[in-house]
Amino acid sequence: MEVHTFVSHEQAHKAMIQKFHDKLKEFHMDIPIEELDNPNGYENGELAVGYDYARDDESMTLYEIFETEISLRDIIIGTIITQVHLDYVVPQRFDDTLYAMLNEYKDNTLFGMVSESDFINEHLIGEQLYEHALAELGGKTNSCYTEKILNYLDGDGSTKFLEERCCEFQFSELPENVEKAMTAHQRWFLGMLCLCDGNQTMINLVREDIDSKQPLGDKIFALDRKREFVAENKGQLCENHRELCSELSDEQYYEMMANILNHKYEFGCGENFYKQMLHIYEEMTYVVYKVIKCYGINDLLKDYGDVIKLNDTEGEIGWCVVFEGDPYEIATAIDSIKVTYDNLF
């Protein structure tokens, strides 16, 4: 069952007739829309169409219109959303997002509207699309970084957002010929709406695009992606794990945990002494990472801080655990850790 909202009975009736007509065409019943939209109704034994209903018994299709009282504020918001559908190609499932953005305006702004199209250009596009897109993307909030994000969304000397990202989403609700006929501005509007709607695929693609243009060590969204990765894998960590790593800043913690949870171990003897040495360090890393996942890093830094360090690689990896010092001292410390946490091994 689908439910759609309209600001007037006339608009609901018009949409119902169009949708019913399109549905009948799918079943090879090409009845002229003028016959269906008859003031006296339409009926041929299988089909029945009235002012507030349309029924096809064979395909078990039924449309009904119900009236309800809504506030003047909601009527105004509804007329703006209706205008959005007239000016842009927007699937109706985005109506909730549009409503949420428009509902943030105070009454005096909404009631003082001169025209729906002007309001859309000045407020919805000029303010809300950008503000909500920025909020969904997250990242560093310094004005310099915000400007970089906005420049990307506006073109920034390239058309990657418009020509690639805004074209990657196919909407089953839109007829193929309608989607192909969309203008560049309509595609941009829909791409921005995908961001505002919280489409995680679009958000991640845009983040990757923007970060790919930033120098190493100065990424805008790297920490956000690591934070999300840790959140998605929180089942691997105990509930109070952040408290067990209280010695670390948020940046250090989330980057370190993303590295630990995403680490791919390479065990084995190796074909030469150098590779054997690397594999030994890899096995020692395994021991430390397993302890951190279960018991945090506070105690390790306190008891073994002479060999276990937290290091910033200043690249994509960021903060991670490393070993420093004499190999014998490191190996002795790891052996001691295995004895202390023997329940893990």
Q: What are the pLDDT digits (tens) for 191-242?
A: 999 999 999 889 989 998 898 888 877 888 887 888 888 888 888 888 899 9
Question: Is the predicted pLDDT of residue 182 greater than 70, yes or no?
Answer: yes
Question: Is the predicted pLDDT of residue 46 greater than 70, yes or no?
Answer: yes
Q: How far is CA 176 from CA 77, 120, 181, in A?
A: 29, 26, 9
Q: What are the pLDDT digits (tens) for 271-302?
A: 788 878 888 899 999 999 999 999 999 999 99
Q: Mean pLDDT, to the nearest integer, of 79-101?
A: 92
In three-state form (DSSP H/G/I as H, E/B as E, the rest C), the secondary structure along the chain is: CCCCCCCCHHHHHHHHHHHHHHHHHHCCCCCCHHHHCCCCCEECCCEEECCCEEEECCCCEEEECCCCCCCHHHHHHHHHHHHHHHHCCCCHHHHHHHHHHHCCCCHHHHHCCCCHHHHHHHHHHHHHHHHHHHHHHCCCCCHHHHHHHHHHHHCCCCCHHHHCHHHCCCCCCCCHHHHHCCCHHHHHHHHHHHHHCCCHHHHHHHHHHHHHCCCCCCCCCHHHHHHHHHHHCHHHCCCCHHHHCCCCCHHHHHHHHHHHHCCCCCCCCCCCHHHHHHHHHHHHHHHHHHHHHHHCCHHHHHHHCCCEEEEECCCCCCEEEEECCCHHHHHHHHHHHHHHCHHHC
Q: Model confidence at 307, in pLDDT bands (50, 70, 90)?
A: very high
Q: Mean pLDDT, to the nearest integer, of 35-41?
A: 86
Higher pLDDT: 51 or 178? It is: 51
Q: What are the pLDDT digits (tens) for 1-10?
A: 677 777 778 8
CA atoms within 13 A on the CB side of 114: 6
What percent of the chain clears pLDDT 90, i.e. is strictly above it? 37
Q: Mean pLDDT, to the nearest integer, of 24-48?
A: 84
Q: Model confidence at 336, in pLDDT bands (50, 70, 90)?
A: very high
What's the confidence (pLDDT) of residue 314? Answer: 58
Beta-carbon contacts of residue 285 (< 8 Å; ≥ 6 apart): 263, 265, 321, 323
Q: Is the pTM of this model over 0.95?
A: no
Q: Do the Cβ atoms of 295 and 332 come closer than 8 Å?
A: no
